[in-house]
């Protein structure tokens, strides 16, 4: 398939704004990594008019997809896990064009996983974990046990991804395979939830306790990225935090995260007077 696509990627490689091209070949009959196409051409460009352009090809009984992605969008995907398949392409794909070793350096950075990017990924997954855990708790308390079970599976998935990030690695699509190797305690929780002979109600109840402990024990170090932002000013309103560039990647889960940190006395609420009697603006500061 690569030979058939060579004229296409050679033409793209001749363009000055093309930074690198990766080819990913289908390895098995059912191939989620390639969306069941026989091949993927992943082309990274700079200053693209369309940040993500996709084209599909067919030749005989073979099919291929071409993804042309602007480097700014690609970096956003990498930093926030916005499109996880891209990480797989970068890690497993074959470099067929590399201007000034751009792709090689990008792959090297993925291996290193710089601390600042790791801290961002941690708080993204941690915020999702808190929201998912609380939704599960609410479903359990209202005796919606099957829905609570489904939500707990999701919560453990966030915990698994968080555990992988804490080890300095990028979570892959097959995250439980990673977790089994590097964080067996978290993998055991998943086994207990899915394979136990206990009732659904009892399994969820036990996992709620385990999840709560896992969240509480990670609270400060997983919230560091947000706490460092908040330390730059005496107090913050929710509106100010929502528009801060460092908060935008997890802004949808920000309120749930703040409430949790307030409950844990990591963040303090500061009431600011308004024109209304006994009505206050709620602001937040980091507890010293």
CATH of the domain at 255: 1.10.10.10
Judge if 42 and 57 occupy the same domain.
yes
Q: Which of 46, 81, 112 is the last residue of a domain?
A: 112
Residues 104 and 127 in one domain: no
Supply the pLDDT for residue 183: 92
Same structural domain for residues 263 and 189? no
- Cβ(121)–Cβ(81) below 8 Å: yes
Tokens of residue 265, six digits: 């006395």
Planar angle of CA 163, 166, 167, nearest 5 degrees? 95
**What is the chain's mean pLDDT, rounded?**
93
Residue 65 sits in the same domain as residue 138? no
pLDDT at 110 over 90: no
Model's pTM, two decimal places?
0.87
Instruction: Determine how many CB atoms are found less than 10 A away from the CB of residue 96.
Output: 19
Q: What is the pLDDT of residue 193?
A: 95
Segments forming the whole domain that contains residue 100: 2-112
CATH number at residue 177: 1.20.120.330
Average pLDDT value for residue range 33-41: 92
Cβ atoms of residues 9 and 41 within 8 Å = yes
Domains in the chain: how many in total? 3
Q: Where would I find the H helices in 58-172?
A: 71-80, 85-92, 102-112, 115-141, 145-166
Position 185 scores a pLDDT of: 93
Q: What is the Cα–Cα distance from 196 to 227, expressed in whole angstroms?
A: 38
**Domain closes at, from 203, 220, 237:** 220
* Per-residue confidence band for 32, with pLDDT thresholds at 50, 70 and 90: confident
The residue among 162, 188, 220 that closes a domain is 220
Same domain, 98 and 13: yes
Distances (CA, A) of 149 to 136, 196, 234: 8, 13, 41
Calculated CA dihedral for residues 114, 120, 125, 131, nearest 10 degrees: 170
Q: Which helix (H) or strand (E) holds 240?
A: helix 238-242
Give the domain CATH number at 107: 3.30.460.10
Q: Are residues 135 and 214 in the same domain?
A: yes
140 and 89 within one domain: no
């Amino acid at each position: 398939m690569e030979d058939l696509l060579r004229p296409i990627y050679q033409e793209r490689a001749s363009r000055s704004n093309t930074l690198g091209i990766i080819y990913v070949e289908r390895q098995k009959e059912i191939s989620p990594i390639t969306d069941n196409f026989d091949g993927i051409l992943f082309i990274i460009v700079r200053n693209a008019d369309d940040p993500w352009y996709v084209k599909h090809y067919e030749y005989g009984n073979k099919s291929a997809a071409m993804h042309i992605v602007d480097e700014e969008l690609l970096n956003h995907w990498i930093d926030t896990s916005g499109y996880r398949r891209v990480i797989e392409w970068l890690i497993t794909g074959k470099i067929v064009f590399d201007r000034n070793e751009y792709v090689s350096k990008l792959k090297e950075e993925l291996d290193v996983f710089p601390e600042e990017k790791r801290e961002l990924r941690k708080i993204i997954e941690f915020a999702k974990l808190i929201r998912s855990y609380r939704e599960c708790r609410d479903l359990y308390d209202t005796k919606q046990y099957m829905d609570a079970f489904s939500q707990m599976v999701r919560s453990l998935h966030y915990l698994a991804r968080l555990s992988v990030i804490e080890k300095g690695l990028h979570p892959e699509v097959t995250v439980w395979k990673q977790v089994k190797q590097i964080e067996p305690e978290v993998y055991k929780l998943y086994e207990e939830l899915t394979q136990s002979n206990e009732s659904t109600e009892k399994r969820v109840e036990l996992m709620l306790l385990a999840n709560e402990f896992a969240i509480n024990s990670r609270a400060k170090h997983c919230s560091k990225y947000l706490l460092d932002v908040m330390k730059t000013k005496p107090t913050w309103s929710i509106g100010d935090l929502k528009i801060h560039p460092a908060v935008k990647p997890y802004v949808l889960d920000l309120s749930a995260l703040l409430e949790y940190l307030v409950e844990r006395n990591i963040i303090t609420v500061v009431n600011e007077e308004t024109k209304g009697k006994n009505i206050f603006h709620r602001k937040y500061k980091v507890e010293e």
